[in-house]
Structure 1
Amino acid sequence: MDQRTLLVINFRYHLVSLAAVLIALAAGIALGSGPLEDKDTQDDTRAASQTTDTGVRAFEVGYAGRTAPTLLKDKLKDRPVLVLTVPGTSANEVKDVVNDLDLAGAEVTGEIALTSKILDSSGRQFAEGVARQSAEDVEEVTGADDSYGRIGGALARAYMADQAGALDETATTITSAFSEGGLITETRAPKRAATLAVLVTGPQRATGGDQSTVIAALAAALNRSGQGVVVAGPSSSSTDGGAVKAVREGEAASEISTVDVTDSAAGRVVTVLAAVAQAAGQPGSWGTSRSDSGALPK
C-alpha cells in the first residue's frame, strides 16, 4: 500500500471518528453512557480534535458552530456568569467559550484575568495580605483556614454571590486592592455579581505544577460561593502538572466541574454544558478518556 493511500485512509478515519462524535453531540447523546462509553471511542475523539489536518479542524469548527445554537439554547437563560482566565490561556478559546455562553442565554458579567503574581507561590504572602486588608470583615476570608482559601474567598466576595445583584462597596474595595496590587486584571469589568464562574486555563506547559496547584486551591475557594465554578482547559491540562488535573485531585474535586477539551470547538460547547450541570448541582469531569464522567454531561 503506497504512502498516498495511507494518508487518504488516515484522513477518512479521523473524519469519520470526528463526525460520529459531533453527530452524537448534536443529538444530545451522553457519550459517557451506553454503547459509546468505551475508552477507544474517547481516545478517537481526542485524536480527532488534535489532528493537524486543517480540513478536519475546519469541519469540526463548522459543525460545532451549526449545532451549538440548538444544543445550548436557553440552557443558562439570564444566569449571570463570571469568566476567569490565567496566563497562558488561549484568547480564541476564551472568546468561543464566551460566545457559547451567550448562545446559552447566560449573562456574562465580566472577564477577570488572574496574573502570575497571584498564581506564583512566591507571592502568596503579599496576595494574602491584600485579601486580609481589603476584606477584613468578610466571612469568606476570616473563616478560611489557609492562605489561598482567604485569597480565593476575597475574590469570591468581590465577584460572586448566591443571588445576582449589584456589586457593593466591599466588592469594589476588594477589586481595587487586587487590581492595584497587580494580582488581577479586569479584562471586562463586571457590573453585577455572578452566581456561577467559568475558569478557563491554559495547557500544562503554561501553568506547570506550582501554578496549577494554586489554581486548584483558588477554584476550591470560589466554588463555595453561588453555584460554584467550572474549570476548563485543553487536553494537556488534565495531564501531570496541568491545572485541570490538579483540580480533579484537589480537596473539592467532587464539587467542581471540569472539562479538558477546550482545544476543540465541540469541547468549548461541552464547557458550557458543564456549566449547566454545575448550576443544576450535578458537577462532573468531562472530556477526554481521563475524565471520569464521560465526554459530555447527559
Structure 2
Amino acid sequence: MDQRTLHVINFRFHLVSIAAILIALAAGVALGSGPLDDTGDSLRGDATTSQDTTDPGLAAFESGYAARTSPGLLKDKLKGQTIVMLTVPGTSAAEIRGITTNLEAAGADVTGEVNLTSKLLDASGRQFAESVAQQSASNVPGVSAAGDSYGRVGSALGRALMADKAAAPDQTASTIRSAFSEGKLITLTAPPKKVATLAVLVTGPERTGGSDQSTVIASLAGALNSSGKGIVVAGPSSSSTDGGAVKAVRDGDFATEVSTVDVTDTAAGRVVTALVAAAQAAGQPGAWGTSRSGSGAVPAR
C-alpha cells in the first residue's frame, strides 16, 4: 500500500473519530473519560491557538460541526444569567471570543470582561493586594471574615463584580473596582455594566514555573465562588496538567465547589464551557473535559 493511500485512510479515520465525538455531544451524551483526552491537543477550533501540526481542514471541520450542533444544545441553558468574563495573562483571545459567543448563544448576558493582572497573581505582591482589598471593602463583612489573604482579595472582587441578582454596581462595588484598577491589580478590558450572577475565569495553558500563579488563581476562584452563583474556571487541555490553573483548582480546597473545564482549545470544548456554566448556575458543580476530569466529558442535559 503506497504512502498516499495510507494518508487518505488515516485522515478519514480521524474525521470519523471526531464526528463520533461531536455527534455524541450533540445528542447530549456524556462520553465518559477517554476520547477528549487523547484528542485535546489536536482538536483545535482556531489555528492561531494551536502549537501542533493539525490538518487545517480537520480543524475547520471540527469548528464547523460544533457551530452547527451547538444551537440545539445551548438554547436557553443560561437564560436569565448575567456573566462576567475574567481573564489572566496568557489567556487566548480566540478562546475568550469563542466562549463568550457560546455563553450568549445559551441566553446569558455577558456584561463585561476583567483581566486579573500579573501584579495581582504574583504571590510576592500578596500583602499589597490584601491591603487594597481591606481598605476598599472595609464595610464588607465577608472580606474581614475570610481566612487568608487571597480569601480577602477574592471576597472583595466578588463583592465588586457579582451578586445574587444582576443590577447596576452600587457605590461599594464601584469603590472596590476603582481601587483595584488604580492599584493595577485588574484592568477593565470591557467594564462590566452590571454585577453578574456568575463568573467564568478563562486561564491559559500550563507554563513552566507557573505553579505559583496557578495556586493564586485557585485561591481567588475559591473566594469568588461564594458570590452570586459561583465561578467556572476554564482552560485548554494543558491547564489540567502539573502547573496548570485548572489542576490547581481541582487539587485545592474548593475542588467540589468550583466548576472546571479543560478543553477550551477545541470548538466543542467552548460549547462545553457554556454547558458547565449552566450546571454551575443550577448548583451542580463538577469537573468536565478530558479524562483528567472527574465528572466526565460533558454535563448531563
The farther-off stretch of 166-175 and 198-207 is 198-207
Cα drift, residue 66 of structure 1: 1.0
1:109 corresponds to: 111
Cα drift, residue 89 of structure 1: 0.2
How many residue pairs were aligned? 292
Question: Which amino acid in structure 2 is aligned with residue 95 of structure 1?
Answer: R
1:16 corresponds to: 16
1:154 corresponds to: 156
Question: Which amino acid in structure 1 is aligned with residue 158 of structure 2?
Answer: A
In the alignment, the residues of structure 1 paired with residue 140 and residue 17 of structure 2 have an alpha-carbon distance, to the nearest angstrom, of: 51
The alignment partner of 2:113 has SS state of: strand
2:253 to 251, 260, 282: 251
Cα drift, residue 42 of structure 1: 3.8
C-alpha offsets along residues 144-194 of structure 1, whole Å, 9 cap, x if unaligned?
010000000110000101222221100000000000110001111111111
CA contact (8 A) 1:21 1:45 kept: no
The farther-off stretch of 12-21 and 202-211 is 202-211
Cα drift, residue 110 of structure 1: 1.0
2:243 to 225, 235, 241: 241
Higher-RCO chain (CA-CA 8 Å, sequence separation at least 6): 2
2:47 corresponds to: none
In the alignment, the residues of structure 2 paired with residue 184 and residue 199 of structure 1 have an alpha-carbon distance, to the nearest angstrom, of: 13
Q: Does 1:266 align with 2:268?
A: yes
C-alpha offsets along residues 3-45 of structure 1, whole Å, 9 cap, x if unaligned?
333322321222111100101111111223xxxx5x3x34444
CA gap of 1:253–1:186, structure 2 versus 1, over 3 A, is: same
CA gap of 1:154–1:206, structure 2 versus 1, over 3 A, is: farther
Cα drift, residue 109 of structure 1: 1.4
Question: Which amino acid in structure 1 is aligned with residue 12 of structure 2?
Answer: R
In the alignment, the residues of structure 2 paired with residue 269 and residue 280 of structure 1 have an alpha-carbon distance, to the nearest angstrom, of: 17
2:204 corresponds to: 202
C-alpha offsets along residues 109-131 of structure 1, whole Å, 9 cap, x if unaligned?
11100000000111111111110
The alignment partner of 1:197 has SS state of: strand
CA gap of 1:6–1:99, structure 2 versus 1, over 3 A, is: same
CA gap of 1:22–1:206, structure 2 versus 1, over 3 A, is: farther
2:25 corresponds to: 25
In the alignment, the residues of structure 2 paired with residue 47 and residue 157 of structure 1 have an alpha-carbon distance, to the nearest angstrom, of: 36
Structure 2: tracts of 5 or more residues without a match: 45-52
Question: Which amino acid in structure 2 is aligned with residue 113 of structure 1?
Answer: N
In the alignment, the residues of structure 2 paired with residue 95 and residue 47 of structure 1 have an alpha-carbon distance, to the nearest angstrom, of: 19
2:77 to 62, 71, 75: 75
Structure 1 vs Structure 2 CA RMSD: 1.4
The farther-off stretch of 288-297 and 5-14 is 5-14
CA contact (8 A) 1:201 1:233 kept: yes
2:176 corresponds to: 174
Cα drift, residue 207 of structure 1: 7.8
CA contact (8 A) 2:41 2:265 kept: no
In the alignment, the residues of structure 2 paired with residue 206 and residue 128 of structure 1 have an alpha-carbon distance, to the nearest angstrom, of: 27
In the alignment, the residues of structure 2 paired with residue 48 and residue 293 of structure 1 have an alpha-carbon distance, to the nearest angstrom, of: 22
In the alignment, the residues of structure 1 paired with residue 118 and residue 209 of structure 2 have an alpha-carbon distance, to the nearest angstrom, of: 9
In the alignment, the residues of structure 1 paired with residue 7 and residue 238 of structure 2 have an alpha-carbon distance, to the nearest angstrom, of: 26
C-alpha offsets along residues 33-80 of structure 1, whole Å, 9 cap, x if unaligned?
xxxx5x3x3444436515611111000010111111111011111211
CA gap of 1:278–1:6, structure 2 versus 1, over 3 A, is: same
Question: Which amino acid in structure 1 is aligned with residue 24 of structure 2?
Answer: A
TM-score by length of 2: 0.94
The alignment partner of 1:204 has SS state of: coil
TM-score by length of 1: 0.95
Question: Which amino acid in structure 1 is aligned with residue 189 of structure 2?
Answer: T
2:43 to 46, 49, 54: 49
The alignment partner of 1:273 has SS state of: helix
The alignment partner of 1:296 has SS state of: coil
Paired residues for 1:278-293 under 5 Å? 278-293=280-295
CA contact (8 A) 2:37 2:292 kept: no
In the alignment, the residues of structure 1 paired with residue 186 and residue 115 of structure 2 have an alpha-carbon distance, to the nearest angstrom, of: 6
The alignment partner of 1:158 has SS state of: helix
1:143 corresponds to: 145
CA contact (8 A) 2:75 2:105 kept: yes
Structure 1: tracts of 5 or more residues without a match: none
CA contact (8 A) 2:232 2:260 kept: yes
